[in-house]
Structure 1
Amino acid sequence: MTIPIGNFIKLKRMELNLSQEQLCEGICAPSYLSRIENNKLIPDDEIYRLLLKRLGLDYEDLIWETDFIAEEIENWYRELLEPEYTELKRDVEELKRRADLIGGETAFKFRAVYCRYLLNNGQIEEATNHLKQLGQVIPQEASRAFFIYTNVLMFNLMLQGNYEEAIQAGRELLKVKGFDQLGNEEEVGIFFYNLALSYSNLSRFKMAEEYAKQALTLFNNGYCLERALSTLLLRGICLNNIQEWNEAMRVYDRAEKILRYLPEETHSHNRGKLNNNRGSCMLAQGKYEEALAYYQAALKDIQGQERIIPLLNLIYCCYEAGKHEEAKHWMTEVERAGNGPVQEIYQRQLEVFFVLLSEKKPQIRDVERVQIKCLEYFLENRHLQLAVHYCKLFIRVYERNHHYKKANEMYRIIRLAETEMRKGG
């Protein structure tokens, strides 16, 4: 055997909970095994044969079917990346056995793809454990296996809301020379999109917008229209939050043109998201009537629990425009937005309006109580754009009631949050 499979041997040993001493007993010294596992030497065939046998693998089978298995794993990964993933019948255990027989990068690649399979099926904890083990042995180098591993790791971290860690994982891949040649245009575009989305979820909109542009170029080149549409929506949100409103509206117009080429059944929902985002662009500029028109148009197209997003925007906009009775009407509509518990990010916003739109004039102590609770949640979870959004609301409430010290505190929070969003965090 002329290829180093030490990392693979180490991975199999860890999976079987064997110590180095247990694996190498009667075969070689632990220090010798350590050098094998770190690919610092390639032993003769007999040592490989004995180590693999103790791990339950047949040395002779390692030369079989390498190309076929590699292609099968690639096909599986492509299926898992489809926007509308449909699980095909596949003997995963048999594929794992054959990938292990080949070893090396093929075994690493299988494990990375298997983790994506687990994530697609909602088995996040199991995927996390496998990724942790794989991360200890997979070489950080310009290989297809490391590229897939990093993308799956980022996806896993994002599903758990660990956006900072997802960004750090992405940065490790960015350090690898030629990383953008390790996947096709769609795959590299997905990598940049996930970086952009992670930065966006941390309110680092300048960095998010830069990576979204890179993703968009690749999706356009590869005619990945659905992904291009999602990226345009994300880029528009970023531009809106760094106050590039005219450019944001142009981006949304481009997104609407792409929508024409997508299946008819996707039009309504995506059109709703576009109009909601356009409304937010108008609201940020104080153009309340235009914002209300866009939000109401969005409400016609968005169904189920997602309706709470344009509804909250309508309530906010009506309140700011002085249309308090209309805002109360939209509050009653929230109850019809779908069954199940309301996410905390929306519940915090609703609590603000329960106080501000109460029948009696709200007491400042009640306003301050809900303000503290709301802003603490937004700032702790880095929802900086929402923190700014609601600080502006509270400023007007405090100033109308001559509580200028409290209003000044809101201005201070806005300055800090907007500075961080503009510089990209």
Structure 2
Amino acid sequence: MTDHEVKNWGRLIKYHRQKQGLKQDDVSVGICTPSYLSRIENGVVIAEQKVYEMLLARLGIDLDQEKGNLEIKHSFLETIYAKLLSNESLTENELTRLESCHKEIFQQEIDLLAGLVYSRYLFSIDAINEARELLLKIEPFITWHQDRITQMYIAITTNLHLSFLEFQQIIFREDHQHVSNYMNTANRFEQANYFYHLAFAHHRYYSFQQALDYINSATQVFSHQFKPLFQLKLYSMKGVILNDLHRFHEALVEFEAGQDLLRNVEAIQTPRQWSSLYNNIAYCYECQGLFKEAMSFYEQANSFGEDLHTVINWMRASYQERDEETLYQLFIEYPNERFNVTHHHYQLLLLKCASEGNFTIMKLKDLEELVFPYFKQQEYYSLTLYYAPLWAAFYEELHAYKQANICLKHALIASEKVRQRMSS
């Protein structure tokens, strides 16, 4: 047994002793002193294996049998975790076994492992608040050593931070704790996943060069593995990052690789994957000012399954192309009440006002004071950089130059924020 495993046996002895209502004197008599048992239970000392066997036997536990049971449990939990990482569904029997393994009395490493795997299952079914509550209970038991528990904790909490849009927390933890070092002994797929999530966080935080470095690290670690869905995510994320670095040709090369993969691997040919990829291609064209091509790909993206994010993008491209007919039809098909994401709703209001053209200073100001502070608070700098100059131009048409300058200041602040993060 390793020292780490032996300390687990100490915790197991303590758990069963307390469960049976026995004092340390009752268990230790004839084997060791009560004070020595106390140090064994708390992992302060490591005794000979025979001592552990005798103490456990007194509690009615066979050490060899217990080790065999733990190996079976450990193998099962690792299998379930691997399935969850690969987005595979659990069978009813697997879920029942997982629930039976999971208990919130963290006496042994296997209890922590079961809790972590169960939290990852909760994440997979979008029960993210429940997952976070469970992880908060597990957190005090994390030793921050290069062990399996620490690796799983890092991976799962990173997923949770992404779900709650807490990108800065992920970046801060990596920059100050270098938690990727704990992942060095994890399998290559898990390492690649962590680098991918770092890339995602940096991209959403507008630190695009760092995002590119991490996506390249993920790609390098992942090489020579056949997990097509994850490979598609790598192509898409790298394309998105390159697009925001204005390396449009290189971005389209990545998106084309993603299309080739989708065309040839039936297992990942879902509407969601096609829609996401076409939306990314469309945005790449939009960023180049090729609005007609962007509209075409946004329309294709939406045809795979209605996605209101794609619809808003499609509206924006139609406005920039000055395709009033398409924009009008989209407004009819997608009225205000269909949008429940705040920035989608606000963009719809801005685009409707812009397309109607018969605005007043008061109407422009009402929307400006509603929308731009929200974009700033949520750090939607790219939206500010598009809509604020547009609003400034409208004010200038009405000779409201003071208000125009305020809008241009919104854009300047957003631009400076992006510059700072890109150069950090």
What is the TM-score of this pair, normalised by structure 1?
A: 0.80
**Distance in 2 separating the partners of 1:332 and 1:122:** 32
1:321 paired to 2:324:
no
Residue in 1 that maps onto 2:141? 137
**Distance in 2 separating the partners of 1:287 and 1:41:** 69
1:10 and 1:137 in contact (8 A); partners too: no
Letter of the aligned partner of 1:303 in structure 2? G
Give deviations 1:243-287, integer Å, cap 9, x for gaps. Answer: 222221222122112222221772654343333222222222223
Give the number of the structure with larger relative contact order, counting CA–CA contacts within 8 Å between residues 6 or more apart: 1
**Distance in 2 separating the partners of 1:52 and 1:141:** 27
What is the Cα deviation at residue 316 of structure 1?
1.6
**Distance in 2 separating the partners of 1:416 and 1:373:** 22
Distance change in 2, residues 1:292/1:127 (3 Å) = closer
Equivalences for residues 216-365 of structure 1 within 5 A: 216-263=219-266, 266=269, 269-299=272-302, 301-304=303-306, 306=307, 308-335=308-335, 342-358=340-356, 361-365=358-362
Letter of the aligned partner of 1:381 in structure 2? Q
Residue in 2 that maps onto 1:200? 203
What is the Cα deviation at residue 161 of structure 1?
2.7
Distance change in 2, residues 1:406/1:160 (3 Å) = closer
1:154 and 1:169 in contact (8 A); partners too: no
1:155 and 1:166 in contact (8 A); partners too: no
Letter of the aligned partner of 1:296 in structure 2? E
The total of aligned residue pairs comes to 409
1:52 and 1:59 in contact (8 A); partners too: yes
Which of 96, 101, 104 is the aligned partner of 1:95? 101
**Distance in 2 separating the partners of 1:370 and 1:31:** 72
What is the Cα deviation at residue 30 of structure 1?
12
What is the Cα deviation at residue 227 of structure 1?
1.0
Give deviations 1:291-311, integer Å, cap 9, x for gaps. Answer: 233323333x3312x1x2232
Equivalences for residues 141-156 of structure 1 within 5 A: 141-156=145-160
Equivalences for residues 32-71 of structure 1 within 5 A: 39-42=43-46, 58=61, 60=63, 62-71=66-75
Further displaced range: 345-354 or 386-395: 386-395
Which of 355, 366, 370 is the aligned partner of 1:373? 370
**Distance in 2 separating the partners of 1:208 and 1:74:** 29
1:391 paired to 2:388:
yes
Letter of the aligned partner of 1:282 in structure 2? Y
Letter of the aligned partner of 1:302 in structure 2? F
**Distance in 1 separating the partners of 2:213 and 2:354:** 38
The SS at the match of 2:184 is helix
Give deviations 1:72-125, integer Å, cap 9, x for gaps. Answer: 22111112223242334132355358x999x75444322221221232244433
**Ranges in structure 2 where 5+ consecutive residues have no aligned partner:** none
What is the Cα deviation at residue 325 of structure 1?
4.7
Residue in 2 that maps onto 1:413? 413
- CA RMSD of superposed structures (Å): 4.0
Distance change in 2, residues 1:2/1:269 (3 Å) = closer
Letter of the aligned partner of 1:312 in structure 2? I
**Distance in 2 separating the partners of 1:122 and 1:104:** 28
Letter of the aligned partner of 2:314 in structure 1? L
The SS at the match of 1:254 is helix
1:276 and 1:310 in contact (8 A); partners too: yes
**Distance in 1 separating the partners of 2:100 and 2:168:** 36
What is the Cα deviation at residue 59 of structure 1?
7.0
**Ranges in structure 1 where 5+ consecutive residues have no aligned partner:** none
1:164 and 1:198 in contact (8 A); partners too: yes
The SS at the match of 1:256 is helix
What is the Cα deviation at residue 147 of structure 1?
1.0
Distance change in 2, residues 1:178/1:137 (3 Å) = closer
Residue in 1 that maps onto 2:422? 422
Letter of the aligned partner of 2:296 in structure 1? A
1:193 and 1:231 in contact (8 A); partners too: yes
Residue in 1 that maps onto 2:86? 82
Letter of the aligned partner of 2:315 in structure 1? I
Give deviations 1:363-387, integer Å, cap 9, x for gaps. Answer: 1232232123222222212222222
The SS at the match of 1:406 is helix
**Distance in 1 separating the partners of 2:13 and 2:246:** 52
Give deviations 1:173-206, integer Å, cap 9, x for gaps. Answer: 74464623312x2222111112222223333333
Distance change in 2, residues 1:47/1:327 (3 Å) = same
1:153 and 1:169 in contact (8 A); partners too: no
**Distance in 2 separating the partners of 1:245 and 1:215:** 21
**Distance in 2 separating the partners of 1:110 and 1:70:** 8
Distance change in 2, residues 1:53/1:366 (3 Å) = farther
Letter of the aligned partner of 2:413 in structure 1? I
What is the Cα deviation at residue 31 of structure 1?
10
Distance change in 2, residues 1:71/1:366 (3 Å) = same
Distance change in 2, residues 1:407/1:138 (3 Å) = closer
What is the TM-score of this pair, normalised by structure 2?
A: 0.80
